[in-house]
Amino acid sequence: MLKELRRAHAAASDELAGLVDDEAAFAAKEAEILVIKGKIERAERAQSASAALARPLDGSEGGDNGRHEPVTSERTLSSLVAEARNYGSREGRKAVYDDCLSIARKGLGITPDKTKNFGSFGEQLQSIFNYYASKGSSTDSRLVRAPTGAGEVDPTGGGFLVQVDFAASIFMLAHDMGEIISRVSKTPISANANGLKIPGVDETSRATGSRWGGVASNWAAEGVTGTESRPKFRMVEFDLKKLISKMTVTDELLQDSTALTSIAAQAFSEEVMFMTEDAIVEGTGAGQPLGFLNAPALVSVAKEQGQQAGTVVKENIDKMWTRCNSRSRSNAVWLINQDMEPQLAALNGAVGTGGALVYMPPGGISAAPFATLKGRPIVTTEYNPALGVPGDIALVDLSQYMLVDKGGVQMATSMHVSFNTDEMVFRITYRVDGKPMWTAARTRFKGGNTESPFVVIAAR
């Protein structure tokens, strides 16, 4: 309901600017906006009242000392992710879940108290299992019910909040492991919001009079006024999508909290990372983020005449580089399907009557082949399409992709118990949206080619 009201408010506000010359219509639209704002305020109060009902299942007040509240500060989460990366750099390895948990507790100022907090993620999952297996007769006071109502947390209701240090650690691990998610731009969103509007410059050409969407400049003699101009803006809208990750746990694993912590935390982190990164690359935008391979700003370089199917030649690489926005080159990376590696190894350029390998490092194949191309890193991914399909190799500046999420991984819910197989299904929910900040490729100031931060080769 809140989402629809906010959309109605935004639409009415946008219409207001076009009614300036009609006093009656302007006043009517203002009155309509005030009515919508009143409904939004009442809906937000209802949501807050519902959220305030979340409490330990045994009914004791403050039983968790506030430690189970979801992490909603994107700034805090971003700093924790950065600290996890710094830790990995100092140690010469990627941070693991236990590293992230230690960093999260220190950063959030949490000192675990066994009477109020779970010692491990596995221990909390065990308590959730015991609650459902006993049909509610076995209740751990450290469990906190997820608030229901207003459709903002979980439309099916019920479930339990993940302890804040565990939720932060899963989020940190997912963002630290990902080669793609760690490179995109991120914007905070408040706990009560389900969407975000960001103003952007509507620039599709670098021609004079078109830069910044319409700022014109001219050299003028003394006493001659310049040409009047104004920039053109657009609104980039984000509506949070819901990513639900489920994990089936056997009875044997449920008996071992240490193994359960290790497996569940790693599995949820990797799944959140994988699904989010896959959406960043080729999401449809319908019920999921919009991937750059499906974005209007994508530039596709034509294949060479007579080029064989499923191949890449030096001319493809040169033309991709040429179509990459010059300001994006310092941030750009090559994302490739792993089957692309033999193609890169065979790249060669004509030298006189012979040829020479183009991208073989000075140390030869025993050193670090495929590390860079045109000086930019090569990253193999599972998300790039197969050889010959557009996107099998992509030159992208991921800083031009915006990701918006709501306080990291917010909630875990136990779905049901399968008594026949002694299994239980756990669920993690992650609210996120994303899309490229460019809405179209841009025409250059000089020359007819368009350019973009997202470049691929056409089908071959």
DSSP track, 231-296: --EEEEEEE-EEEEEEEEEEHHHHT-HHHHHHHHHHHHHHHHHHHHHHHHHH-BSSSSPBPGGGST
Q: Which helix (H) or strand (E) holds 322?
A: helix 314-323
* Cα gap 334→343, rounded to integer Å: 14
More confident residue, 316 or 75: 316
Per-residue model confidence as pLDDT tens digits over 334-377: 999 999 988 988 887 765 655 666 766 656 665 665 578 888 98
Task: Find tokens 């002694």 and name the residue.
Answer: 422
Per-residue model confidence as pLDDT tens digits over 196-231: 877 665 666 666 656 655 566 667 666 655 556 565
Once rounded to an integer, what is the mean pLDDT over residues 135-163?
59
Strand partners, 401: 436
What was the pLDDT predicted at 43?
74
Contact 454, 394 (CB under 8 A): yes
Q: Give 74-133 as a DSSP string.
A: HHHHHHHHHHHHHHHHHHTS---HHHHHHHHHHHHT----TTTS-SSHHHHHHHHHHHHH
* Cα gap 182→85, rounded to integer Å: 10
Categorize the per-residue pLDDT at 64 as very low, low, confident or very high, splitting at 50, 70 and 90: very low
Alpha-carbon dihedral 2, 3, 8, 9, rounded to 10 degrees: 70
Pick from 39-48, 99-108, 216-225: least confident: 216-225
Categorize the per-residue pLDDT at 300 as very low, low, confident or very high, splitting at 50, 70 and 90: very high
Contact 325, 451 (CB under 8 A): yes
Once rounded to an integer, what is the mean pLDDT over residues 255-274?
86
What was the pLDDT predicted at 268?
87
Which of 203, 186, 199, 238 has the alpha carbon at shortest distance from 402?
186
Percentage of the chain lying above the pLDDT 90 cut: 25
Q: What does the DSSP 8-state code read for residue 442?
A: E
Strand partners, 145: 160
Could you tell me the pTM of the whole model?
0.71
Dihedrals phi, psi of 198, to nearest 5 degrees: -120, 125
How many residues in total does the chain contain? 460
* Cα gap 287→284, rounded to integer Å: 8
Tokens of 446: 């000089």
What was the pLDDT predicted at 70?
45
* Cα gap 131→139, rounded to integer Å: 6
Asked if pLDDT for residue 149 goes beyond 50, the answer is no
Categorize the per-residue pLDDT at 386 as very low, low, confident or very high, splitting at 50, 70 and 90: very high
What was the pLDDT predicted at 388?
95
Categorize the per-residue pLDDT at 319 as very low, low, confident or very high, splitting at 50, 70 and 90: very high
What was the pLDDT predicted at 306?
93
Q: What does the DSSP 8-state code read for residue 160?
A: B
Categorize the per-residue pLDDT at 420 as very low, low, confident or very high, splitting at 50, 70 and 90: low
What was the pLDDT predicted at 301?
96
* Cα gap 387→342, rounded to integer Å: 11
Q: Give helix then strand counts, H and E, for the chain.
A: 10, 16
Asked if pLDDT for residue 316 goes beyond 90, the answer is yes
Average pLDDT in the chain: 77
Once rounded to an integer, what is the mean pLDDT over residues 295-324?
94
Which residues lie below 8 Å from residue 277, measured CB to CB, with a gap of 6+? 178, 179, 180, 181, 381, 383
Asked if pLDDT for residue 98 goes beyond 50, the answer is yes
Which of 166, 48, 27, 23 has the alpha carbon at shortest distance from 102?
166
Dihedrals phi, psi of 69, to nearest 5 degrees: -65, 140
Q: Give 119-139 as a DSSP string.
A: SSHHHHHHHHHHHHHTTTSS-
What was the pLDDT predicted at 155?
35
